Amino acid sequence: MKTIALIAHDRKKQEMLKFAQDHSEILMQYSLVATATTGRILNENTQLKVQPYLSGPMGGDLQIGARIAAQEIDLVIFLRDPLMAQPHEPDITALLRVCDVHNIPVATNEGCAHLLLKALAQMNG
């Protein structure tokens, strides 16, 4: 089963929740992983089953990065806050680099996430 990673900066967590609710029919067809708080929010507020890793500051983004490097993640949705990201939040640069190295599609905003998710769903028919 294909796996999607879901990560959101603090100010984007509610946007991620709404995105997941709006796209739940598609997302439920995939294995989902997330950093701790994002995963908890999605597990508590949707019918989706999300495997949470550590929080970003504790290395959850690195755990997801390792799965990307092992070709175990098929799509990354990282809703980042380009204006107010906090120092404790996951490092987008490292995740973008590992996605680029391993040719894994990554969305950093809701518009791109919507398009990539729809494309992945169409590819899997």
Q: Domain limits of the chain? A: 3-123
Average pLDDT of the chain, as a whole number: 92
| Active site members | 61
8 φ, ψ (degrees, to nearest 5): -145, 135
For the residues 25-34, what does the mean pLDDT come to?
A: 97
Residue 16 · residue 107 · CB < 8 Å: no
CATH entry, 3-123, from 2.40.50.140, 3.40.50.10490, 3.40.50.720, 3.40.50.1380: 3.40.50.1380
Q: Are strands 3-8 and 31-34 parallel, antiparallel or unpaired?
A: parallel
59 is in an annotated binding site: no
**Residues in the chain, total:** 125
State both tokens at 95. 């995740």
pTM of the model: 0.92
pLDDT over threshold 60, residue 62:
yes
| 13 annotated among ligand-binding-site residues | yes
2 is in an annotated binding site: no
- Range in 62-71, 82-91, 114-123 the model is least confident about: 82-91
- Asked if the model's pLDDT at residue 78 lies above 60, the reply is yes
> 55: annotated binding-site residue?
yes
Structure token pair of residue 23: 């796209």
Residue 59's identity, in one-letter code, is G
Mean pLDDT of 12-36: 97
Which distant-in-sequence residues (6+ apart) come within 8 Å of 6 by Cβ? Answer: 16, 20, 32, 33, 34, 38, 39, 42, 50, 77
| Residue 23 annotated as part of some ligand binding site | no
> 122: which 2 tokens?
């169409």
The model's confidence at residue 81, banded by pLDDT at 50, 70 and 90, is confident
Alpha helices in the chain (DSSP H): 13-22, 24-27, 36-45, 60-69, 92-101, 110-123
